Amino acid sequence: MKYIFKISMFFALIYMIIGCQNQKSIENRFSSLNDTIILKTKKVKGNGLFQFGVSSIEFQDTSKSFSNPVKYPKNINDLKRFQLKTDFDETKNYNVEMLKGNKNGKQIFIVDENNNKDFTDDSIREYKPIIWSKSANLVRCKYLISNDTEIVTDSSWLNIGDSNGNFSLGKREYLISKFEIDNKKYEIGIIEPRNPLSFTYGFRPQISILSDSGIKKDSISESDLIAFGEALNLNGKYYRFEKISNNGDIITLVKDKNFESEIGTQKGMIAPSFKVITMSGDTLTNSYLQNKLTVIANSCGCGGDKESTEAFYEMERTFGNQINILHVDSDIKMLDIGIHIDSQEEFNKDFYNNYRKEYCSRLCYVIGKDNRIVEKFNINEWKNVLPKTIKN
């Protein structure tokens, strides 16, 4: 009897282990009947299919006041210090500490990689131009951040170096989540591109489908990027990007049953109506322009970007007789060709909030004759996107 009892307990234990494994494997498995989908994410090093920028930073002399003391290295000249805030929503100063200086005639920098406030055990790196395409030289760093319920230790990677003569850095991470809906497999990626100097998610995160039913994308276009509050098309059903945790480890998707009747600038939505004053003094409305395909073309000449400005004029010269093209920017100088809209004009404020949304933008929206958004693209990519859009 004891032998039989032990055999029974053994098989019961096996069944429990298998049951736990199966439960773990179906953690991200859902039905299309689910209105809410909560997904765990995994952090990945580098860029993947996404594009990231950098921001220039300003170091301060070590004699200045800082939020906490650190142990400085020896034999480095002209030391200066920078604190990279890791959690914008936290009142406490959670930072990644950085130094720059000179050693043996070369400019160097040091990152407090293990977050112990001691620079004597960290690597001394030579300051060089940023390499945009590779992840081999990224610096891994640990830090503290809130996950919405508690403070946790997390880590990421930084791209640090010279960009156009400025000491610049940007985080190099993206999030992925793999899941199933009705046995169809998906992989999505999440980024926070507008906030390169913080590890906090939720400012302007973007999400994109990376793989659908085992078919992986080899590139991501502007129209593939879904903004916070917009919806993913998963097998004909739309799920709105509803929520993301402070450190990005959890995202929430909510089924959107009214997508096709909603107004917005996501591809497939009804385009927001508008009424604007052009720089020539004319008043334009979207209803007046519905005789042709309309492109709202944002450039960033206001920031000294000549390439995006010239892209508009090339676009206008190539397709201006076939479609409507509205050039949006501030401080536009050349007005003898095309239709121009001053993004800083108070009368155009609603238009700005719908179709520009930030001081410097290069995003173009294509509105079809049915008044729906049919495409989105970066203005510098018009030669690849616009001919196909017009043809279709």
**Which pLDDT value is given to residue 140?**
96
Give the integer Cα–Cα distance in Å for 116 and 275.
56
Domain limits, the chain = 30-51+174-261, 55-171, 275-391
Strand partners, 231: 240
DSSP 64: S
Element (H, E) at 96: strand 95-103
Which of 64-68, 238-242, 281-285, 300-304 shows the lowest per-residue confidence on average (mean pLDDT)? Answer: 300-304
Spatial contact of 167 and 35, defined as CB atoms under 8 Å apart: no
Q: What is the pLDDT of residues 188-241, one digit of tens each?
A: 999 998 777 779 998 889 999 999 998 999 999 888 999 999 999 999 999 999
- What lies within 8 Å, CB to CB, of 107 at 6+ separation is 100, 101, 126, 127
pLDDT value of position 303 = 66
* Average pLDDT of span 131-160: 92
Around 249, how many Cα atoms within 13 Å sit in the side-chain half-sphere? 13
Backbone angles phi, psi at 130, to 5 degrees: -65, 135
- Is the pLDDT at 8 greater than 70? The verdict is no
pLDDT over 90 (residue 16)? no
> What is the CATH architecture assignment of 275-391?
3-Layer(aba) Sandwich (3.40)
- For the chain, what's the residue count? 392
Tens of pLDDT, residues 367-390: 999 999 999 999 999 999 999 999
Helices (H) and strands (E) in the chain, counts: 4, 27
The whole-angstrom separation of Cα 42 and Cα 283 is 49
Provide mean pLDDT across the span 25-53: 88
Kindly state the tokens that stand for 135: 């992840």
pLDDT band of 305, cuts 50, 70, 90: confident
Backbone CA torsion sign across 325, 264, 241, 202: positive
* Residue 331: pLDDT band with limits 50, 70, 90: confident
Whole-angstrom Cα distance, residue 141 to residue 119? 13
Residue 245: burial class (beta carbons within 10 Å; 0-12, 13-18, 19+): middle
Residue 25 has pLDDT above 80, yes or no: no
